[in-house]
Amino acid sequence: MAENERILYCNCTYAKVVPEATKREVLKALCSSGRPFNAVADLCEMSARKDKTLGELAEVENLKVVACFPRAVHWLFSGSGFPLEKKQVQVFNMREKPAGEIISDLLETELQEADSAPATGPAS
C-alpha cells in the first residue's frame, strides 16, 4: 500500500443506480484485503451534511474513492466545503466499470509497487 493512502468506498445505499453485484464484489475484496478503509452508506448524504470525515479524507495524500462518476464525486466533496485536489485523487466508477477491473486497479497497486520498487530505499 502506498504511503498515506486511504480508500473510501461508497455503498450508494439509497439508490439502485450502482449494480448490486459490483458493490458486493468490491466490498468483499476490500474486506479480504486486510487493508484499512472507510466505507460510507452514501456519499451524497455525507456531502449534504458537510460531514467532517470528508474533510479528513480530502486531506489524505493518496485518496482512492470507489463510488460513481468522477465529476459527481469531485463536486460532492466541493459542495460539502472540502474540495479535492484533482491530482491527488483516483476515482473508481462502479456505475460503469466491472468489479474485477476496479478490484485489480484498486488493490493490486501494492503488488506492482513491490515488483518495481528499488531494493535500496527511495530514490533521492
Partner 1 sequence: MNRLEQKTVKVVVYDGEGSQSISAEESYEAISGLLNNGFTVARITSKSELGISNTTPQLVLGKFDGKQLNGAESGAGASTVRLSEFPSSDPNTVSEIAEQYRQEQDAFDHSSWKPWFPVIDYDRCTNCMQCLSFCLFGVYGVDDEQQIQVQNQDSCKTNCPACSRVCPEVAILFPKYKAGPINGAPVSQDDLDREKMKVDISSLLGGDVYSMLRNRSVQAQSRFSKERSSDKALNERKKCLDKLKQDIDIPAEVLMSLPSSDEILEKAEQAKLRGEEALAAIRNSPNSSKLGSS
Residues contributing to the site for partner 1 (CB under 8 A): 11-15, 17, 24, 27-28, 30-32, 34-53, 56, 68-73, 75-76, 78-79, 95
* CA-derived radius of gyration, the chain: 15
Measured from the CB atom, the residue of 1 and 88 that comes closer to partner 1 is 1
In the complex, what is the shortest distance from the CB of residue 79 to partner 1, in angstroms, rounded to a whole number? 5
In the complex, what is the shortest distance from the CB of residue 123 to partner 1, in angstroms, rounded to a whole number? 27
What is the C-alpha to C-alpha distance for residues 54 and 83, in angstroms, rounded to an integer? 9
Closest CA to 37 of 50, 28, 46, 45: 28
In the complex, what is the shortest distance from the CB of residue 5 to partner 1, in angstroms, rounded to a whole number? 12
Cell reading at 55: 474533510
In the complex, what is the shortest distance from the CB of residue 112 to partner 1, in angstroms, rounded to a whole number? 21
Measured from the CB atom, the residue of 86 and 116 that comes closer to partner 1 is 86
Phi, psi of 9 (to 5 degrees): -110, 130
Measured from the CB atom, the residue of 17 and 119 that comes closer to partner 1 is 17
Across the chain, which distance is largest between two alpha carbons, in Å? 49
